[in-house]
Amino acid sequence: MSGGGGTFGFEITRASASTAARCGAWHTPHGTVQTPAFMPVGTRGTVRGLWPEQLLETGAEMVLANTYHLALRPGAEVVEELGGLHQFMQWDGPILTDSGGFQVFSLAEMARLTDEGVSFKSHIDGSWLELTPERAVGLQEQLGADCIMCLDECPAHDVPPERLRRAVDRTTDWARRCRDAQTRTDQALFGIVQGGTDPALRQRSAEGLLGLEFPGYAIGGLSVGESPESMYTTLDVTVELLPEDRPRYLMGVGTPRDLYEAVVRGVDLFDCVLPTRNGRSASAFTSEGEVRLKNLKYRSDERPLDPGCECTVCSRFSRGYLRHLFLSREMLGPILVSYHNLAFYQNFLRSLREAIRTDGLDEFRSVHLAEVPASL
């Protein structure tokens, strides 16, 4: 498979004998991503608190930025004038930009939605940002990411069936308009499958997008309030509808358990704010489960965050010291725990890739998820 004028390619290097999991290599203009892969979220052109070099240290190969937020500040034209996102962020690896479609869900109270597009009232100064499919693609072309997303409508999980169907059809129409508006050949444009947890609507959405021949497909509209079981059941249906020879991207998900469950169903790419959001709240992901550092029991704890982790934070700092940083409101605390959490996620995916290569997924599950509660 190739897309973007031949500058992209996706190859499956190993497939699981017992599940739909697969290892792959996704080639982009700014480097190759080993899949399954997790992309740290750098919404406003930065992963909060971390230098690009530190992201590389954690094992990240690709990062995500958000079109809506960057269009508001500093403006896509400013990013373009300063050399595009790679130069702007000083990140040499691949970058993916969301179209702003998720903000249709997350900022619904500030959005006006029609068949033509969506208008957002800026949370910064109250001005209006107009996003049509054509404008969403144009902004992303100015930003210059390697992978860009079609504008989609992401409804809540509990909307009425007819409302959900309208969102699916609108998303399909917008995807066609996005494809027709694209002018750059060095960006891979992904279509986004919607449909909530309704199998028939997921099929309707996928069938509408497959004819548009995108170089990759995303699964949207999950992790928006439905149960984990409903998410996994929906993935069972949806992933089977997507081409095997193209990357599959599950948007905005999720916990380590979610990543495992999606990978064994055939998903290749992930992003989520959890590692850094939790890190800023003194919550660490570890091989022993969640560590909430503000708990009194860690006051004099000499152990590292995760005895099984070899990241810089775990090799140098104690739980007691990290707890002190948070209680003292020192900015170093959120930085260090965010760094560790991202390293944990990258190590988790690295081990998961190795388990696929060696047909060791059952052992992986028993070792890596035994201490992780269902919420993580």
Per DSSP, the three-state class of 45 is: coil
Catalytic option among 152, 258, 271, 306: 271
Catalytic residue status for 152: no
Cβ-based neighbours of 166, under 8 Å, separated by 6 or more: none
Burial of residue 228, with CB atoms counted within 10 A of its CB: 0-12 exposed, 13-18 middle, 19 or more buried? middle
Catalytic residue status for 306: no
Q: Looking at this protein, which amino acid is placed at residue 286? A: T
Q: Looking at this protein, which amino acid is placed at residue 338? A: S
What is the C-alpha separation between 5 and 39, in angstroms, rounded? 24
- The Cα-based distances of 352 to 63, 136, 266, 286 in angstroms read 19, 34, 13, 15
Residue 33 contacts residue 247 (beta carbons within 8 Å): no
Residue 210 contacts residue 243 (beta carbons within 8 Å): yes
What is the C-alpha separation between 108 and 241, in angstroms, rounded? 29
CB atoms within 10 A of CB 158: 12
Residue identified by tokens 């004819």 is 211
Residue 291 contacts residue 284 (beta carbons within 8 Å): yes
Residue identified by tokens 């290097």 is 13
* Token output for 228: 């984990």
Catalytic positions:
98, 271
